Structure 1
């Protein structure tokens, strides 16, 4: 029998434990009751057409609250009543009733909103208050914290995220459509950079929570440039828009739910940063009273809607036959006043391809400023705004003096449009005289010389557009179409008459007769024009405006030189541009060259300015900047020849003429305008160089994501030394940013990754009429394989340079071991690379490596060596396609200090490995560890897709490292080496002085030399 005492003892123990359990349960129940939050807290809600958060606060037994909708804004909850697990409220100001029920655990609400007689189902879950560590990816940002504005150090990130509302979403849409849509696109339209994250379907590369997105927008990473022009408010606005517009509806796995626990981790600073201000520096700038560009003339009320063909690439051609484009438009302000053309109220455009006045308009605002180098928008062009009073068709204004025909003989593209200038024997644009506020256009028709001034007068409230023409005698009779019939036109002066002919009002000039006339043009409904003209002043002679006048820009602006530290092999002096200037010029420097006195440089900007810069070599600590020209069409290169300044623009090469020697341009002479210009935003005219014979060279880009329309799209072009002829030297480029002329007369032209370009490429061009790969160029080979294209000297991966610009040979003894070397400027990353080139079996190949310690605040566009001080001067700017956007433009001087250079000076690919030669004697001990080197290779696939993935990636085994007798040359023995598109060689070694040399080379191997075993 069991022991009775033990039995009762066990029972007592069981009862005791049961009482403890019951007591603990009661305590737990009471604890839970006392800590029941009820409805208090933050809830994530969702209906069939809305979502957001509800915030409920308990005050004793009552509640207050608000409903924050990302779509509909913030609404107050009134008359809140709670009973047991039910809550009701009225939504102000609509009065809709909200009825909610809480589940057993108190973590979920269900119910409905009563909208009139309709029930809208409603669900909400309690927002988490738990701390959950963020899964922070390793991100290599482009900018460091020290690069950021001071206010970024104390931003209230918590507050920004808490305060999002309907207005934030609306503002974010504006930011996205102005800044982000260009590269990222939308689900309906692919962006111009297909590698950019597609928010609606792809994973985020650098973190998907709002704070991580903020850091990516602020600092930039990979191909995402930092967006320094956006305020913190604008960044969080666009983050909200991206999350709610794209991520949440169709990419929910990437939608990060914001919780109070998450917010607790974020910085709660005291600053919201600068207030959001209207950002339109393109229209704030004073360009002067004329501005050259491609324009579409359209009436704001009756003009055609803007339209662009959609993808996938290549985008089909639009039907623009009825659109009034002035492809080489000279817009002229007609009314008086300060601020230049953008502050005007009345304008006309002269088209110097066709020698026509394309139209006249009035309004509050000049143009809509849409354009890649205006308001940064892609796939578009500027358009007139306001009332278009009259216009003329896109066809020759003057009849052919040889036969009287108006038939257009110019190149006809496949879309039916014609491009380029009229034949020079027919008509030829000579340039613009800029005399005080007068703009005089000079051109020829046959052998007659014409000076023309555009103007306006007022007839009560009616605007009268005027054209004053001085026409010299012609060997033949001349005819000009002024405007379509129905437009009211009157004439005053001698030597010409008007008549209606074939649907136009036509000006006729007898042969061998000069004419000095003034035309008055207004709308069909205007009355009293004849009486007005009868009282008008007689036309004046325009020759007085061709002698030079008072300076338009007499101010000389002083800036400081900030000397760089001589701590590494290169010191970078910042030659500060005058960003604060009377004309609000953005100073996006795009070209640089020197006068005979090397103390003075000339520079151009993308916004159309030309400046002189004095004080470069006189050991002063200041520079003097003088604006000597303005109003040009996208200058992207400049060259001084025999003290004359030539500027490459999208529409022409301009020669600047100072007629009265006051240091300012009086005559913008057309040196050559054979350019075939279309409306496409991407066809930049890049760089300007001259050969020993005096011929000029520049590169013209092709259309982005589209097939070429004209033969000049994607070409290297030669202009004869007298400007009379243009020839195509090479074809097949996509975005050729600049030209380098080699000592032997051959060329180097860069190109950018994109469609048919698997990667950035640097092309060494020898001979003529060769094709360089872009199948969307004009008249490409039928064979799309690599066999029909010239291979690049080197492929450059986006990690090495997002966008290479121009190359330059070092011509300076002050650069020591680098004298005679080849440099590549990086527009994409704001740095300078050394190009290690060789020729094997007749084929050029090369590697590139960053020069150490060089980081510019803008992309680098152009550079020249100054023969007086032996230093390199480089200018840059920020626009599309660069990660360096801290400054809109900059100017730098690079000095070689003579300190140890960590980069190799040469590279040679052989059948058993790669030879590298350094400038310093190497420490043999650091070469014994093979892990100090790492070699990888991969190949590319060239296709119509944008860029290429890495294929057949390999890590090559290094079997041995050989040192040659000079102590500076080593060989990495690579048993698996073979020709390859891309090789990278990372190294970390020392020289005999103990200096650590660390870097990474990227090279292309087309052919391998025979092996060298000793030197």
Structure 2
């Protein structure tokens, strides 16, 4: 078995990689035998996350603890970690245009979320990135360049704003990739600057070089090259600025101008602390270099000699450089049999690639001709061709790399835009060789902290040229670099948990909505409707779907970001925990080739996984709606989807990490309409008289007219700081209400049923379970979940219902008590509940921890449990029951609070059955 399939001495099953591995081969003349070998999953290998031939990765850095003599206010949310050669590296802060830190030895440890899970697919134990090499040069969290006068700001208690400098003062423009070198581009005031970082060696020492190309500056510019906080002496000698450390001045940090003769640049020391470079106004600075070094003062003369002999010329990079990745990888898809109206075809991922690169597809977008661009959580962009009907020759080429946990991609007018933690990057292929040469900063105006869950969650394009983006809330799931501000939340930036609109030029943003925990977006460009999901958790009682408008607030107090006290905007619908405990993206079905789904909003469940059709009732005083499951094969989590403008089918991406019922690591699917009949719900109306539920297919009159074929339940949630919510009746007591269906009617077009339900009222959650047949005899036995925000009168005539006996609504209004409530508790029932209530997605019945949010259940009963607060207890019946009803009281050590209460969801008999099931699990 190949090491790729191993984890902690265990093996991933074949199903765990079913969505990840597909047949692929290079276009290099492989024989059929070689292709068969490449088809084997155990032939797969992965190289390290950082590739030695690529000049940078985008990352964050915490350099506050570099040691004596270095600034302590040194943390950056957006940097380029640059590989400079000879085991020399630097982090360039793209917000403040400074070298945060330069060092030698080892590169950065791979501790961020995408990095730790790159090979260890379910590893969520991310940490802030700190230095493990030997730091030599650093600056504090202040501007690296300034115009007019030098600017410094240093404080041991400084907290970053997590924002870029004002564009009129300085702006990051992007990075060019030229062979193995990175060339940075930014502006300071009105001066455009290109910089090529590098390194040189002398006498077993490493020095860092910064080579600049500047447009003629109209005002003086100042660069802070290094800060030394424990200086004992400083001087400028022979054109080199020195700051000494130590009582004997035996250690020195220096900056010098490279080359012989006079230079417009001036090396200076300021405040006996800062090494700076002064560029006078009007200087002819077409190309110049500086050299920075820290070492023994005995080597000063050798350093000065190095400065004089160093000559560095920027290459001709503006027209593009040599290609990084020249090979094409071909994969074979797998078509699903046409067994239903909607099926999922599997497109193979290019995992057998020459770079041994993981491919966890986060999002996909299409060009007008039907070829696509896909972005991976690992920071790569791939171009995909050959997406046709049979998927037998799908061709993949790497286009870009080095991005910071990107999760969204949009192709706009044949330009690729990617939203990652560095901002929105526009990728430019300058020489048309199929690879990006210039990673242009289209927009970094949004704030971005280093908190791992403040991810760049989603981006959608609007026809006016603007983008809407969704930013994750700064949850308390690591690394914890900002203060705790509420249960389950860190401070992060002041834009975490928000939806923003980015202007068409990328230079401005406006807040659309706040009070979100983990939003993802959908946008109907034809109707201008912006929609969103959110994640169940603290302050979010269950999974919601929202229709967004400017000024909305959705109830998460730590992400309010407002000084007023706005009302909480209700969702279009809630979705129960057992149905979708982890929501993700949305997509609107455009075109007319998806049959009855055309025009629909599609909701993506990560945890289930799978797709839901969203129905919207716009006739009520407040928007309301509901969801139904689109049954198909989903081998990996479903995260996002995009319509292909050529075949007008929906393409679905997703990758595993946070815990899902699916074990698949990643997949790229096509939801295809086969032309067969669809039996999905197609319309929801809820009001005073009851519920109207419409379907795509005509219904059998006998089953539709029998009220015994429908079961209706309702309950409310409680929005608190606790994770999720139990279920509560409308009178506030715990539990769910089962309502009487006193009559059911079939509409004139045979596609709708009216359920007369007494005592209809506004409620957060309703469920209809139906047992119907279509007119062609197909059994239709599914649940439908919806929310009633407004229970007004229904216009029954409008929907084709005649001769409805509304007197049936006057029957005695009493709750029907389920006979199951008094059932005897059994281990078998407990096992079934373990599956039904989605416990299986977070807790293993064995010892598995990979991909699980909660601790395993094997060996649980009568074991000693150790908690985050330092206490412990024996796991008896009382403890297990308490954990089900009040899970936040005791959090098992090593885990987070990510389980809702099952108050009102499970009866005493249900809980006893689960305990019996846990007792039956074998001991190991």
TM-score range, shorter chain: 0.7 to 0.9
CA distance in 2: counterparts of 1:150 and 1:978, whole angstroms: 58
- CA deviation vs aligned residue, 1:6-39 (integer Å, no higher than 9, x gap): xxxxxxxxxxxxxxxxxxxxxxxxxxxxxxxxxx
Per-residue deviation at 1:441? 0.4
CA distance in 1: counterparts of 2:686 and 2:115, whole angstroms: 41
- 1:372-411 aligned within 5 A: 374-375=116-117, 376-378=123-125, 380-399=127-146, 401-406=147-152
**Distance of aligned partners of 1:509 and 1:823 in 2 relative to their CA distance in 1, 3 Å threshold:** same
Per-residue deviation at 1:333? 0.7
Q: How many residues align?
A: 726
Per-residue deviation at 1:799? 1.6
Runs of 5+ consecutive residues of structure 2 not aligned to the other structure:
20-39, 118-122, 228-242, 245-252, 476-487, 730-735, 801-924
- Residue 593 of structure 2 aligns to a residue whose secondary structure is helix
Per-residue deviation at 1:558? 0.6
**Distance of aligned partners of 1:1004 and 1:489 in 2 relative to their CA distance in 1, 3 Å threshold:** same
CA distance in 2: counterparts of 1:932 and 1:218, whole angstroms: 40
In structure 2, what is the equivalent of residue 713 of structure 1?
496
**Distance of aligned partners of 1:590 and 1:357 in 2 relative to their CA distance in 1, 3 Å threshold:** same
In structure 1, what is the equivalent of residue 552 of structure 2?
770
CA distance in 1: counterparts of 2:442 and 2:546, whole angstroms: 28
In structure 1, what is the equivalent of residue 24 of structure 2?
none
Per-residue deviation at 1:526? 5.3
From 681, 695, 705, the equivalent of 1:918 is: 695
Per-residue deviation at 1:331? 0.5
**Distance of aligned partners of 1:880 and 1:637 in 2 relative to their CA distance in 1, 3 Å threshold:** same
In structure 2, what is the equivalent of residue 580 of structure 1?
352
CA distance in 2: counterparts of 1:353 and 1:279, whole angstroms: 36
Per-residue deviation at 1:702? 1.6
In structure 2, what is the equivalent of residue 808 of structure 1?
587
Whether 2:614 is the aligned partner of 1:831: answer no
- Residue 596 of structure 2 aligns to a residue whose secondary structure is helix
- 1:304-315 aligned within 5 A: none
From 631, 636, 640, the equivalent of 1:862 is: 640
User: Contact between 1:346 and 1:363, CA under 8 Å: does it hold in 2?
Assistant: yes
CA distance in 1: counterparts of 2:667 and 2:760, whole angstroms: 42
Per-residue deviation at 1:881? 4.6
From 640, 650, 654, the equivalent of 2:425 is: 654
User: Contact between 1:686 and 1:739, CA under 8 Å: does it hold in 2?
Assistant: no
- Residue 860 of structure 1 aligns to a residue whose secondary structure is coil
- CA deviation vs aligned residue, 1:193-220 (integer Å, no higher than 9, x gap): xxxxxxxxxxxxxxxxxxxxx99x9899
From 319, 327, 336, the equivalent of 1:555 is: 327
Larger Rg: 1
In structure 1, what is the equivalent of residue 727 of structure 2?
950
From 642, 646, 651, the equivalent of 2:413 is: 642
CA distance in 1: counterparts of 2:697 and 2:74, whole angstroms: 63
From 484, 508, 514, the equivalent of 2:284 is: 514
Per-residue deviation at 1:800? 1.6
Per-residue deviation at 1:722? 1.4
In structure 2, what is the equivalent of residue 322 of structure 1?
72
**Distance of aligned partners of 1:359 and 1:407 in 2 relative to their CA distance in 1, 3 Å threshold:** closer
CA distance in 2: counterparts of 1:1000 and 1:543, whole angstroms: 64
Per-residue deviation at 1:708? 3.7
**Distance of aligned partners of 1:286 and 1:750 in 2 relative to their CA distance in 1, 3 Å threshold:** farther
In structure 2, what is the equivalent of residue 504 of structure 1?
274
- Residue 648 of structure 1 aligns to a residue whose secondary structure is strand
CA distance in 2: counterparts of 1:818 and 1:741, whole angstroms: 14
Per-residue deviation at 1:479? 1.0
- CA deviation vs aligned residue, 1:369-413 (integer Å, no higher than 9, x gap): 2436643435632222222222211111123x14543459xxx99
- CA deviation vs aligned residue, 1:938-991 (integer Å, no higher than 9, x gap): 110001111111112111111111111111110111113221111111112111
Range moving further from structure 2, 432-441 or 610-619: 610-619
User: Contact between 2:637 and 2:662, CA under 8 Å: does it hold in 1?
Assistant: yes
CA distance in 1: counterparts of 2:18 and 2:339, whole angstroms: 29
In structure 2, what is the equivalent of residue 253 of structure 1?
none
- Residue 744 of structure 2 aligns to a residue whose secondary structure is strand
> What TM-score does the superposition give when structure 1 sets the normalisation length?
0.67
User: Contact between 1:775 and 1:781, CA under 8 Å: does it hold in 2?
Assistant: no
Whether 2:621 is the aligned partner of 1:851: answer no
CA distance in 1: counterparts of 2:367 and 2:416, whole angstroms: 9
CA distance in 2: counterparts of 1:542 and 1:666, whole angstroms: 15
User: Contact between 2:89 and 2:107, CA under 8 Å: does it hold in 1?
Assistant: no
- 1:346-361 aligned within 5 A: 346-361=88-103
Runs of 5+ consecutive residues of structure 1 not aligned to the other structure:
1-148, 152-170, 176-213, 221-225, 230-273, 305-320, 337-344
- CA deviation vs aligned residue, 1:240-263 (integer Å, no higher than 9, x gap): xxxxxxxxxxxxxxxxxxxxxxxx
Structure ranking higher on relative contact order (CA contacts 8 Å, 6+ apart): 2
In structure 1, what is the equivalent of residue 485 of structure 2?
none
User: Contact between 1:711 and 1:778, CA under 8 Å: does it hold in 2?
Assistant: no
- 1:215-614 aligned within 5 A: 283=49, 288-297=54-63, 322=72, 324-335=74-85, 345-371=87-113, 374-375=116-117, 376-378=123-125, 380-399=127-146, 401-406=147-152, 416-484=159-227, 485-486=243-244, 487-493=253-259, 494-502=263-271, 503-515=273-285, 516-525=287-296, 527-535=298-306, 537-542=309-314, 544-598=316-370, 600-614=371-385
In structure 1, what is the equivalent of residue 745 of structure 2?
962
Per-residue deviation at 1:752? 0.4
- CA deviation vs aligned residue, 1:133-168 (integer Å, no higher than 9, x gap): xxxxxxxxxxxxxxxx999xxxxxxxxxxxxxxxxx
Per-residue deviation at 1:514? 2.9
- CA deviation vs aligned residue, 1:70-111 (integer Å, no higher than 9, x gap): xxxxxxxxxxxxxxxxxxxxxxxxxxxxxxxxxxxxxxxxxx
User: Contact between 2:63 and 2:72, CA under 8 Å: does it hold in 1?
Assistant: no
**Distance of aligned partners of 1:455 and 1:299 in 2 relative to their CA distance in 1, 3 Å threshold:** farther
Per-residue deviation at 1:862? 1.9
User: Contact between 2:369 and 2:645, CA under 8 Å: does it hold in 1?
Assistant: no
- CA deviation vs aligned residue, 1:333-354 (integer Å, no higher than 9, x gap): 1116xxxxxxxx3311100101
CA distance in 1: counterparts of 2:319 and 2:369, whole angstroms: 26
Per-residue deviation at 1:710? 3.2
Whether 2:791 is the aligned partner of 1:1008: answer yes
Per-residue deviation at 1:430? 0.8
Range moving further from structure 2, 740-749 or 994-1003: 740-749
In structure 2, what is the equivalent of residue 118 of structure 1?
none
In structure 2, what is the equivalent of residue 723 of structure 1?
506
CA distance in 1: counterparts of 2:65 and 2:699, whole angstroms: 71
**Distance of aligned partners of 1:742 and 1:931 in 2 relative to their CA distance in 1, 3 Å threshold:** farther
Whether 2:673 is the aligned partner of 1:896: answer yes
From 649, 652, 666, the equivalent of 1:871 is: 649
User: Contact between 2:183 and 2:194, CA under 8 Å: does it hold in 1?
Assistant: yes
- 1:157-236 aligned within 5 A: none
- Residue 817 of structure 1 aligns to a residue whose secondary structure is helix
Per-residue deviation at 1:696? 1.2
User: Contact between 2:330 and 2:350, CA under 8 Å: does it hold in 1?
Assistant: yes
In structure 2, what is the equivalent of residue 941 of structure 1?
718
CA distance in 2: counterparts of 1:438 and 1:886, whole angstroms: 37
> What TM-score does the superposition give when structure 2 sets the normalisation length?
0.74
- Residue 476 of structure 1 aligns to a residue whose secondary structure is coil
User: Contact between 1:686 and 1:699, CA under 8 Å: does it hold in 2?
Assistant: yes
Per-residue deviation at 1:576? 0.7
**Distance of aligned partners of 1:303 and 1:989 in 2 relative to their CA distance in 1, 3 Å threshold:** farther
CA distance in 2: counterparts of 1:760 and 1:892, whole angstroms: 24
CA distance in 1: counterparts of 2:514 and 2:173, whole angstroms: 29
User: Contact between 1:452 and 1:468, CA under 8 Å: does it hold in 2?
Assistant: yes
**Distance of aligned partners of 1:902 and 1:684 in 2 relative to their CA distance in 1, 3 Å threshold:** same
- CA deviation vs aligned residue, 1:101-126 (integer Å, no higher than 9, x gap): xxxxxxxxxxxxxxxxxxxxxxxxxx
- Residue 547 of structure 2 aligns to a residue whose secondary structure is strand
User: Contact between 2:698 and 2:751, CA under 8 Å: does it hold in 1?
Assistant: yes
- 1:875-886 aligned within 5 A: 875-886=653-664
CA distance in 2: counterparts of 1:990 and 1:829, whole angstroms: 26
CA distance in 2: counterparts of 1:965 and 1:900, whole angstroms: 20
User: Contact between 2:587 and 2:642, CA under 8 Å: does it hold in 1?
Assistant: yes
Per-residue deviation at 1:680? 0.7
CA distance in 1: counterparts of 2:47 and 2:621, whole angstroms: 50
In structure 1, what is the equivalent of residue 685 of structure 2?
908
